[in-house]
Chains A and B, each alone.
Chain A
Amino acid sequence: MSNNNNQKKRVFQIEAFKHKVVVDPKYADKTWKILEHAINEIYNHNASGLSFEELYRNAYNMVLHKFGEKLYSGLVSTMTYHLNETSRCIEAAQGALFLEELNRKWTDHNKALEMIRDILMYMDRTYIPSNRKTPVHELGLNLWRDIVVHSPQIETRLSNTLLELILRERTAEVINRGLMRSIIKMLMDLGPSVYQEQFEKPFLELSAEFYRCESQKFIESCDCGHYLKKAEKRLNEEIERVSNYLDTKSEIRITNVVEKEMIANHMLRLVNMENSGLVSMLLDDKYEDLGRMYSLFRRVPNGLSTVRDVMTSHLRETGKQLVTDPEKVKDPVEFVQCLLNEKDKYDKIINVAFSNDKTFQNALNSSFEFFINLNSRSPEFISLFVDDKLRKGLKGVSEEDVEIALDKVMMLFRYLQEKDVFEKYYKQHLAKRLLSGKTISDDAERSLIVKLKTECGYQFTSKLEGMFTDMKTSQDTMQGFYATHGAELGDSPTLAVQVLTTGSWPTQPIVTCNLPAEMSSLCEKFRSYYLGTHTGRRLTWQTNMGTADLKATFGKGQKHELNVSTCQMCVLMLFNNADRYSYKEIEQATEIPSADLKRCLQSLACVKGKNVLRKDPMSKDISEEDVFFVNDNFTSKLYKIKIGTVVAQKESEPEKQETRQRVEEDRKPQIEAAIVRIMKSRRVLDHNNIITEVTKQLQSRFLANPGEIKKRIESLIEREFLERDGTDRHLYRYLA
């Protein structure tokens, strides 16, 4: 534009004052002819006769003498001419030769381009950057792209040929991968957009179509396991294809296509497939299939959550059946063992097949938590299971196995919502084990206590630990007692006293009884010894919890050792003085409450094989008119005989009610304490928030009932710890 203006305005010309260096007017044309000729020779594979020095110098001179533009445009038109020729050659290639011809010409062009750039290096370095032109190499690639690749006769043919070859490879034919790689590399060299438009986009579309059909075929004919195997194989093939001859960036795109068509679109159908879907894989522990499902489903959105949901609902269903099965409930040990087996099974599945996925572990845990608490007796049963194991189950088992067994129990314990109920039962069971000397391994007991402590804190186990301390102290006390009084006691009965701290042990109603004279004097001696060493304490005899070993000689000289309870001992000792006693006489002598006495006599006279007493009349039940004798005809194969009072292992219905009630009673102060703690820090809070916070605070011990919390709030209001807000009745206010 500015040139035109200048020419119009220019009316006269000023001659250059200085002599210009006169250049041969045909210089540029001549020089260009030489270079053009050289470029032609290079394209014709005829470069050996060319002089690099001469060509470089000529190109240099053209740029130096301001013929850069001529040189550059000459280059463009010469190269364009040659590429048009090339394009025609490639178009003429028939069938399979097409790709080979394209590849050969591409190699030639690259080599020529490099040589041309060598000669024109000076232009590349000086003329091109300052005139904003495209550098020679890039120019060569652009021209190849526009003239050859985008030629109407080549463009679609190229795409189709590549796609067809891939399709053939998918149907297990062998193709020339080296050629594929070169051609794909060419597209990539021409820029990412050429690769995408020319190849990748149609490739992805075609692949989607291919896998849509194939997956439809497979899903009609295969079971879930087989289908997954095929999908996995296809996926790996595509990944391998990318590594063989495609751009690595395509991997994610093509795998997305396979994942979408083969997995995501059929996800629900696969998981729920009758007789081969997820549930049956879980039932049959098919680790390999499960592992495959996991690794494939994790690739698609919502894949794993689908698997997880089905697993969870299956687990909840089977777990619910298990804990509500009336058969299972009959045997607590079996009940807990079943739970443990179920847990082991799923732990292994998650470990082996689901690569220890945290979300699956959480799903497993929440399922267990869900169904274990469906049965309100679970805490009792778990404690009974532990009791069973610690009484007899761990004999001859190595220390590590004990640890493992206890750890598993702890795992179940963690799922319990009513941990305080477990604590109640555990305390009772532990007391029985300790007092009857039935516990097998002190180490195992203590290790479990430590576990409970780490799980629930110090408060939870302080009383349990107190029980152990009492046992130990009692041993020392007895040793001390016999060391000081042993001599004077002579051949009187051996006494073993366990001094139990009030509060640490589960309390039971005391059954009073009159001890026999020899016993009561012994007990008296112990009492004075104990109170002599420990001032300010009070001893109460828990006769209901004691046992005695009696040596008995029956009428025909049979000698037996009888293991009996304290009450039974009192009754039996009477018979040292007389042969027969009426019920009334026994009741008078022993002062045992009638209900307990009846139970006691029943166990001595009415249990077959253990009837050391005889009664008249011979009936099942004890009546107040009965008369009792020593059973002189008593025989037994065993020397030692344990005469038990009828104590059920499982709790009877009223006992259960009682435990429940005690638990509820214990919860009240805990709920109140939580409410006060919260209100003290928050001052004012509405009802719903109190409920939420209290529940949160207490959930490590039990699940607080909102109704109960409400009652406790009412009670606290009555006692003026809290008040209702004057205006908003939903708000509570803390009163300091």
Chain B
Amino acid sequence: MGVQRDIVRFNVGGRIFETTATTLANAGRNSYFGAMFDENWDLIVEDQSKEHFIDRNPDCFSILLDLLRTGEIYLTSNVPEKLLYREALFYGLLDHVRTAKWGSFDGNRLRLSRSVNGRAPGDGTAIRAGPDGGCCVAHGSMVHVYDWMLEEHSPINLDYQRVNDAGWINPDRLVVSACERLGRGDGGMGLFSTSAGELRYKFHVSHENQVKSYTAGALSFSSDYKIYSSCKGRSNEYGIGVWDQNTGQQVDFFYEPPGWSLGDADKLQWLNGTSCLLVSTLFPRKDNCYISLLDFRAKKMVWAWSDIGTPIIDERISDERRVRDAIAMEDTSSICVVNEFEDLGFMDLRSRVGSVRWSSRSRLMKGKMPDEPCYPKLALHEGQLFSSMNDSISVFCGADWVLTSRLRRSYGGSICDFSIGGDRLFALHSEENVFDIWEAPPPPIMSS
């Protein structure tokens, strides 16, 4: 008895477990075990053979105890995931489970972990990954919210206003941008609680001290707690609105200059290095494509490119040159664009006159486009470039952007949107209301 003094005995639902106080300390202070063994409770009894009774499921306890010992999680066939999550919630170990469940993100190691079916037919608007591994799917006037356990919460219902974009502020706070409904003064941007599905705050736009109704389009968040959204007001008040995340107040508005498009933008991307906002308005929302970089401190458009004036020689070539999505890559000071055949093109941000350098990577796509194509989308994550095309997502790496992996799952039709966050990739299909979750497996056992 005297050899190992920190042995602890549990009787969980009738089964005896023995472990050490050191193992239990891994649970942290904010857990059942942390509280139980706090000195306030005076529970360290002299008689070590005395067991602590816990009226819970022993099978789950065994898995969770193993998690505390090793940091890894292995489900047994008799324990459904949901049961384990419930027990982990009881002990306050849910965060431990989440961290152990999947490895850190790497586009080249992704495995399909699950597909989740929604209730609606296809044609989702957008999917957005949350910071902790959850996600939300915007669909018409609804936003369906899933936590990292892929449990669906009460949906956010905007009552006939079409949702344009959504973005996570934290695992419990979601910003949703929506169309204005004529004559109703609704629309714009709202902050929702994802656990309750309730509106918590509505962001206003005012022009000359008058609050106006507006349509909010694409969203982006900056590292200094600002929210950017493309806005369309009724009286030509087009531009980019800026709000403070903490106060909810509108702090800036960048009006659209004549002959340019900001208020209709499809995509906003905040660039941390240069503190600029990339604004892209693309076909088919507009006949032409406008890409610009805004510097809000200097109130200036510091870089701009458009395909206005490009002569249309023949329809086929112009499709080839038409930009379908754009993403800025700060490491190389360039913008990557993609056309509808998934050819990548690059523009140098350092040269004032932007021109696209297309890399005709493959022309295989031509001629075998599916009936209902989805235009390619781009994403960048830690130096890896992702592009969706039809029913697959390509991963490009290295300085020359070599295609290194392709994620594909045939069910559900083309991928209309995808998003990376919380060490997961979510891909939303357009024909069926289904989305896939891709995650990297935990590191191999022999890794150091």
Instruction: Give me the interface of A with B, judged by CB distance under 8 Å.
Output: 47-48, 50, 52-53, 56-57, 60, 111, 114-115, 117-119, 121-122, 125-126, 129-130
Q: A47-B42, A53-B54 are in contact. List 19 more A-B contacts (CB 8 A).
A: A48-B42, A50-B41, A52-B41, A52-B43, A56-B35, A114-B40, A115-B40, A115-B41, A118-B41, A119-B35, A121-B31, A121-B35, A121-B92, A122-B89, A122-B90, A125-B92, A129-B172, A129-B195, A130-B195
Q: Is B36 an interface residue (CB 8 A)?
A: yes
Instruction: Say yes or no: A126 contacts B35, CB within 8 Å.
Output: no
Closest to A131 in B: B196
Instruction: State the Cβ distance, B307 to closest chain A Cβ, in Å.
Output: 47
Count chain A CB atoms within 10 A of each CB in B35, B38, B52 and give the residue with the most.
Answer: B35
Instruction: State the Cβ distance, A63 to closest chain B Cβ, in Å.
Output: 10
Which of B36, B92, B195, B196 is close to A53, meaning CB atoms less than 8 Å apart?
Answer: B36
Bound-state CA distance A52–B52 (Å) is 10
Instruction: Say yes or no: A130 contacts B196, CB within 8 Å.
Output: yes
Instruction: State the Cβ distance, B28 to closest chain A Cβ, in Å.
Output: 12
CB contacts (< 8 Å) of B42 on chain A: these are 47-48
Instruction: State the Cβ distance, B330 to closest chain A Cβ, in Å.
Output: 36
Which of A47, A60, A130 is close to B41, meaning CB atoms less than 8 Å apart?
Answer: A47
Bound-state CA distance A321–B114 (Å) is 95
Bound-state CA distance A121–B42 (Å) is 18
Bits for B48-83, please: 1 = Cβ < 8 Å to A, else 0. Answer: 000011110000000000000000000000000000
Instruction: State the Cβ distance, B171 to closest chain A Cβ, in Å.
Output: 10
Bound-state CA distance A56–B42 (Å) is 15
Instruction: State the Cβ distance, B61 to closest chain A Cβ, in Å.
Output: 13
CB contacts (< 8 Å) of A60 on chain B: these are 90
Q: Is B30 an interface residue (CB 8 A)?
A: yes
Q: Is B32 an interface residue (CB 8 A)?
A: yes
Number of contact residues on B: which range applies? 20 to 34
Instruction: Say yes or no: A53 contacts B52, CB within 8 Å.
Output: yes
CB contacts (< 8 Å) of A126 on chain B: these are 89
Bound-state CA distance A60–B42 (Å) is 21
Q: Which of B1-48 contact A (CB under 8 A)?
A: 30-32, 35-36, 38, 40-43
Closest to A125 in B: B92
Bound-state CA distance A56–B31 (Å) is 11
Pick 20 A–B contacts, CB within 8 A, sort by A: A47-B41, A48-B42, A53-B52, A53-B53, A53-B54, A56-B35, A114-B38, A115-B40, A117-B35, A118-B40, A118-B41, A121-B30, A121-B32, A122-B89, A122-B90, A122-B92, A125-B92, A126-B89, A129-B172, A130-B195
Closest to B153 in A: A130
Bound-state CA distance A115–B36 (Å) is 9
Instruction: Say yes or no: B90 contacts A118, CB within 8 Å.
Output: no
Instruction: Say yes or no: A57 contacts B55, CB within 8 Å.
Output: yes
Which of B52, B54, B89 is close to A125, meaning CB atoms less than 8 Å apart?
Answer: B89
CB contacts (< 8 Å) of A57 on chain B: these are 55
Consensus secondary structure, chain A interface: helix
The 5 closest A-B pairs by CB, nearest first: A118-B35, A130-B195, A52-B36, A115-B40, A52-B41
Instruction: Say yes or no: A52 contacts B35, CB within 8 Å.
Output: yes
Instruction: Say yes or no: A118 contacts B55, CB within 8 Å.
Output: no
Instruction: State the Cβ distance, B194 to closest chain A Cβ, in Å.
Output: 10
Instruction: State the Cβ distance, A400 to closest chain B Cβ, in Å.
Output: 53
Bound-state CA distance A555–B54 (Å) is 140
Bound-state CA distance A360–B252 (Å) is 44
Bound-state CA distance A111–B31 (Å) is 17
CB contacts (< 8 Å) of B38 on chain A: these are 114, 118
Instruction: State the Cβ distance, B31 to closest chain A Cβ, in Å.
Output: 8
Q: Which of B379-436 contact A (CB under 8 A)?
A: none
CB contacts (< 8 Å) of B196 on chain A: these are 130
The answer to whether A56 and B40 touch (CB under 8 A), given A122-B90, A130-B196, is no
Instruction: State the Cβ distance, A289 to closest chain B Cβ, in Å.
Output: 48
Closest to A111 in B: B40
Bits for B356-388, please: 1 = Cβ < 8 Å to A, else 0. Answer: 000000000000000000000000000000000
Closest to B38 in A: A118
Bound-state CA distance A57–B55 (Å) is 8
Bound-state CA distance A52–B195 (Å) is 29
Closest to B90 in A: A60
Bound-state CA distance A251–B353 (Å) is 55
Instruction: State the Cβ distance, A34 to closest chain B Cβ, in Å.
Output: 14
Count chain A CB atoms within 10 A of each CB in B38, B41, B92, B172 and give the residue with the most.
Answer: B41
Instruction: State the Cβ distance, A725 to closest chain B Cβ, in Å.
Output: 41
Bound-state CA distance A60–B38 (Å) is 19
CB contacts (< 8 Å) of A53 on chain B: these are 36, 52-55
Instruction: State the Cβ distance, B234 to closest chain A Cβ, in Å.
Output: 33
Instruction: State the Cβ distance, B10 to closest chain A Cβ, in Å.
Output: 10
CB contacts (< 8 Å) of B92 on chain A: these are 121-122, 125
Instruction: State the Cβ distance, A284 to closest chain B Cβ, in Å.
Output: 54
CB contacts (< 8 Å) of B89 on chain A: these are 122, 125-126
Bound-state CA distance A166–B5 (Å) is 50
Bound-state CA distance A113–B159 (Å) is 44
Instruction: State the Cβ distance, A709 to closest chain B Cβ, in Å.
Output: 44
Bound-state CA distance A129–B171 (Å) is 12
CB contacts (< 8 Å) of B54 on chain A: these are 53
Bound-state CA distance A53–B42 (Å) is 13
CB contacts (< 8 Å) of A119 on chain B: these are 35
Closest to B196 in A: A130
Instruction: Say yes or no: B32 contacts A56, CB within 8 Å.
Output: yes
Bound-state CA distance A115–B42 (Å) is 11
Instruction: State the Cβ distance, B19 to closest chain A Cβ, in Å.
Output: 16
Bound-state CA distance A117–B36 (Å) is 11
Bound-state CA distance A52–B196 (Å) is 31
CB contacts (< 8 Å) of B55 on chain A: these are 53, 57
Bound-state CA distance A53–B92 (Å) is 14
Closest to B54 in A: A53
Bound-state CA distance A129–B172 (Å) is 9
Bound-state CA distance A122–B93 (Å) is 11
CB contacts (< 8 Å) of B172 on chain A: these are 129
Instruction: State the Cβ distance, B56 to closest chain A Cβ, in Å.
Output: 8
Closest to B56 in A: A57
Bound-state CA distance A47–B52 (Å) is 17
Closest to A124 in B: B30
Closest to A50 in B: B41
CB contacts (< 8 Å) of A117 on chain B: these are 35
Bound-state CA distance A273–B42 (Å) is 69
Instruction: State the Cβ distance, B422 to closest chain A Cβ, in Å.
Output: 19
Instruction: State the Cβ distance, A496 to closest chain B Cβ, in Å.
Output: 73
CB contacts (< 8 Å) of B35 on chain A: these are 52, 56, 117-119, 121
Bound-state CA distance A119–B32 (Å) is 9
Bound-state CA distance A126–B196 (Å) is 12
Bound-state CA distance A125–B88 (Å) is 12
Instruction: State the Cβ distance, B88 to closest chain A Cβ, in Å.
Output: 11
Bound-state CA distance A685–B253 (Å) is 45
Bound-state CA distance A130–B198 (Å) is 10
Closest to A119 in B: B35
CB contacts (< 8 Å) of A115 on chain B: these are 40-41
Count chain A CB atoms within 10 A of each CB in B40, B43, B196 and give the residue with the most.
Answer: B40
Closest to B53 in A: A53
Instruction: State the Cβ distance, B208 to closest chain A Cβ, in Å.
Output: 35
Count chain B CB atoms within 10 A of each CB in A48, A57, A117 and give the residue with the most.
Answer: A57
Instruction: State the Cβ distance, A431 to closest chain B Cβ, in Å.
Output: 62
CB contacts (< 8 Å) of A121 on chain B: these are 30-32, 35, 92
Bound-state CA distance A121–B38 (Å) is 13
Count chain B CB atoms within 10 A of each CB in A47, A48, A111, A125 and give the residue with the most.
Answer: A125
Closest to B198 in A: A132
CB contacts (< 8 Å) of B32 on chain A: these are 56, 121
Bound-state CA distance A230–B14 (Å) is 76
CB contacts (< 8 Å) of B43 on chain A: these are 52
Bound-state CA distance A117–B30 (Å) is 10
Instruction: State the Cβ distance, A507 to closest chain B Cβ, in Å.
Output: 64
Bound-state CA distance A438–B198 (Å) is 100
Bound-state CA distance A119–B89 (Å) is 14
Bound-state CA distance A677–B172 (Å) is 72
Bound-state CA distance A50–B92 (Å) is 21
